[in-house]
Structure 1
Amino acid sequence: MSGPLAPPQLRSVRQQASELLRVAIYDGELAPGERLTEREICERYGVSRTIAREVIRELEAERLIESNRRHGYIVARMSEAEIQDLYDVRILLEAEACALCAANMTTERAGRLDASMAAIEAAAASGDRQAQRDSNGRLYHEIFAGAGNVVLGQILNSLHGRVSYLRSLSMSQPGRPAASLTEMRALYAALKTGDGTEAARLSTEHIRAARNVALAAIRALAERSSS
C-alpha cells in the first residue's frame, strides 16, 4: 500500500530485483515454504551477491521471506491465525483512515482519487494482476495521505507486503475481482462525498469480504500441499 511505483527505468537494480521477487511471491511462482538462496536470486535476476543480500533483508523486513535454520531462507508462511489478526488490524486502522480522509476531502484530493479509481477500472478491464495491485496501492496511498495522520499511514504502509500477497491471493479466486471492483466503487463514492461514517463501513465490509476469500484460498492451498 505504498505509493505508485517509479517507472522501471528510474529504479535501481536492487529496487527492480526486489520488485520482481515480490511479484514472484505474490503470483505464487514462489510458494510459501519454498527455499531461497543468494545464488538463486543472483542467477534469476542477474544481480551481485551484495545486491541479493540487500534484497533478502528488504523482503525479510516486509515479512515476505523468513530465515530458516535448515534452509537459510524460505518464502514466508502465514497461518490462518496470523491472517485473521492481520485483517482485524486492517479493519480497525483502515476504517479510521477512510473516515479521516472523507472528513478532509478537498477538490484537489478528490481529483487524485478520480485518477486512482480510473487506474483501478483500467486494470480490472485489462486483467493484468500487477496493474491491479499497483492501482489498488495507488488508491490506498491517496486515502492514507488524505487521512492526515502520519503515524497511522506509517503503520498501514508497514503492512504493505503481506497485505499485497493476500490481496493477490484473494484476487486470483473466481468472482473476487468483480466483487472487489464493486466494493471499491462504493468506497470511492463515499470518500468523495465526504461521508466518513459510510466510508468506514464500506471499508470494513470490503476487508471482511477479502479476508473470507483469502482464508478459503489458504485452506485450499494447504489441502493441495498435504495431499
Structure 2
Amino acid sequence: MVKQSVYSDTLTRLSTLIIEGVYKPGDRLIERELCDRLQVSRTSVREALRRLEAERLVQIIPNKGPVVRRLSTKEFLDLWDIRTTIECLAARRFALHGSDAQILALEKCIHAMDQALVNEDEHRIRVAKNDFFECFMMGSGNFALPDLLRQLNAQLSFMWASSLRVPGRPTASIKDLMALLETIKARNPEAANAAVILYNERAKIIALARLAELESEPAKTPTRSKRRVQSSAET
C-alpha cells in the first residue's frame, strides 16, 4: 500500500488527464509511461488505475490492459437521464431555497463560461463549467447532489468542450443558462425544471454527435512524456 498522500495525488492527476482529454476514450494506459509522466512508482499507478476502474473511467481489458473507458450509446443515454434528473431537482430546490448570494454567484459563473467559450479556451471551458455545476448544486441546498453530479460529469467528460464544434452553439448554450438563471431569480421551480430539460435536450444532441466521432476514431497509445502534470481542482 502506497502512502495515502502519494496515492491521492496520483489519482487526482491521472483522473485529470482523462477528464481533460489528454487520454481519450479507448486510449491505452501503459503503466511504464504513466510512471514516467507522473514521476511515481508502478504501485501508485496500479492503485490509481484500480480506483478509476471502480469509478468507471478506466476499463481493464484482458490481454490489452487498462484503457480509458468508452461509453456505448445506451450507457451515455442512461447517464444523461440520471444527470438531467439530478439537475432538475437542483433547479427546483435552487428556485425555492437558494439565497440571493448564491444566485449572484451562479450568474458570475455563467459570465465566466461565456468568456471562456468566446476565447475558445478548452481548459478554461472545463474549469468554468465545473465551477458552474458546483455553484448550481450548492444552491440546491442538498449536500448529496454535488458529489453525484461530479461522478456523472467525470464519465461524460468527453463532451465538455463539444459546444465549440457546432457553429452558434456556444451563444445558444449561454442563452439557455441565462434563461435558467432568470427562472431561479423569479423563484419559479416549475419553470426552472423546464429550463433544465430544454438545456439538456439541446446539449444531448451535440454530445451524441461527439460520441459518434469518438467511436469512429481509432484508439491510440499516447507518446511517452517525462514532464510533470500539475494536479487540478477538476473532478
TM-score bracket relative to the smaller structure: 0.7 to 0.9
CA contact (8 A) 1:32 1:77 kept: yes
CA contact (8 A) 2:120 2:164 kept: no
Report sequence identity in percent.
Answer: 29
Instruction: Name the residue aligned to 1:17.
Output: 13
Instruction: Name the residue aligned to 1:213.
Output: 206
Aligned residues: 211
Which consecutive unaligned segments of at least 5 residues does structure 2 have? 1-7, 220-235
CA contact (8 A) 2:31 2:42 kept: yes
SS state at 2:165 partner: coil
**How far did 1:15 drift?**
5.7
Distance 1:196 1:45 in 2: 46
Give the aligned residue type for 2:166: P
Instruction: Name the residue aligned to 1:4.
Output: none
Instruction: Name the residue aligned to 2:111.
Output: 118
Instruction: Name the residue aligned to 2:85.
Output: 92
Distance 1:155 1:38 in 2: 29
Could you say which structure has the higher helix fraction? 1
Indicate yes or no: 2:166 matched with 1:174: yes
Distance 1:17 1:220 in 2: 26
Indicate yes or no: 2:147 matched with 1:154: yes
Instruction: Name the residue aligned to 1:131.
Output: 124
**How far did 1:40 drift?**
1.6
**How far did 1:163 drift?**
2.6
Give the aligned residue type for 1:17: R
Distance 1:151 1:167 in 2: 22
Instruction: Name the residue aligned to 2:27.
Output: 34
Instruction: Name the residue aligned to 1:64.
Output: 57
SS state at 1:35 partner: coil
Distance 1:158 1:101 in 2: 21
Distance 2:210 2:217 in 1: 11
Q: CA, structure 1 residues 123+17, in 2 after alignment: closer, same or farther (shift >3 Å)? A: same
CA contact (8 A) 1:87 1:208 kept: no
Q: Deviations over 1:70-99 (max 9, x none)?
A: 212011011011111111112222111111
SS state at 2:67 partner: strand
**How far did 1:172 drift?**
4.2
Q: CA, structure 1 residues 181+57, in 2 after alignment: closer, same or farther (shift >3 Å)? A: farther
CA contact (8 A) 1:167 1:210 kept: no
SS state at 1:73 partner: strand
Distance 1:164 1:38 in 2: 22
Which consecutive unaligned segments of at least 5 residues does structure 1 have? 1-11
Give the aligned residue type for 2:88: A
Distance 2:175 2:11 in 1: 33
TM-score by length of 1: 0.81
TM-score by length of 2: 0.79
RMSD between aligned residues: 2.4
Q: CA, structure 1 residues 16+79, in 2 after alignment: closer, same or farther (shift >3 Å)? A: closer
Q: CA, structure 1 residues 223+22, in 2 after alignment: closer, same or farther (shift >3 Å)? A: closer
Distance 1:22 1:224 in 2: 16
SS state at 1:31 partner: coil
CA contact (8 A) 1:33 1:77 kept: yes
